[in-house]
């Protein structure tokens, strides 16, 4: 397991477009794993309940009217107030359990960026 200090000063940035089927489960899991982390969901013109579910789960929801994932990501990073950020997709394709490894690498190596992959491979 991880020390709660490792996950302090971290924000999860999650761009979302019509993800009502997955966003609740993802946010519940992040909250369980990293209760001290902040979560920002950038709703990119969803026509479903994505925003409402995200708010119910305690996320800060920002509406981005300019369509496109890149616009949503940019909006999320503009609102960042923590030292570290983890960006993940709202569809749950990246397991939040793996985020700790990214954050540990950032801190251990004093790195500017660490990238994760859905493909299994060697951890460096």
Q: How many CA atoms lie within 13 A of 8 on its CB side?
A: 3
- Model confidence over 1-44: pLDDT tens digits? 455 455 678 999 999 999 999 999 999 999 999 999 999 999 99
- Model confidence over 81-105: pLDDT tens digits? 998 899 999 998 888 998 888 888 8
What is d(CA 36, CA 27) in angstroms, rounded to the nearest whole number? 13
Q: Are 24 and 48 in contact, with CB atoms under 8 Å apart?
A: no
Q: Are 64 and 43 in contact, with CB atoms under 8 Å apart?
A: yes
| Structural domain spans, the chain | 4-109
Q: Are 97 and 66 in contact, with CB atoms under 8 Å apart?
A: no
Quote the Cα angle for 69-73-79, to 5°.
Answer: 150
- Give the homologous superfamily in CATH for domain 4-109: Spore Coat Polysaccharide Biosynthesis Protein SpsA; Chain A (3.90.550.10)
What is d(CA 80, CA 107) in angstroms, rounded to the nearest whole number? 18
């Amino acid at each position: 397991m991880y020390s709660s200090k490792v996950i302090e000063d971290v924000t999860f940035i999650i761009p979302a477009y019509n993800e009502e089927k997955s966003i609740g489960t993802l946010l519940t899991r992040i909250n369980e794993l990293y209760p001290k982390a902040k979560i920002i969901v950038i709703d990119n013109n969803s026509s479903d309940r994505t925003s409402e579910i995200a708010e119910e789960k305690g996320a800060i929801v920002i509406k981005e009217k300019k369509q496109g994932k890149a616009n949503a990501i940019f909006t999320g990073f503009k609102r960042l107030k923590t030292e570290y950020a983890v960006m993940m997709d709202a569809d749950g394709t990246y397991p939040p359990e793996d985020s700790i490894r990214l954050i540990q690498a950032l801190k251990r190596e004093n790195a500017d960026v660490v990238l994760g992959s859905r493909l299994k491979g060697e951890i460096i």
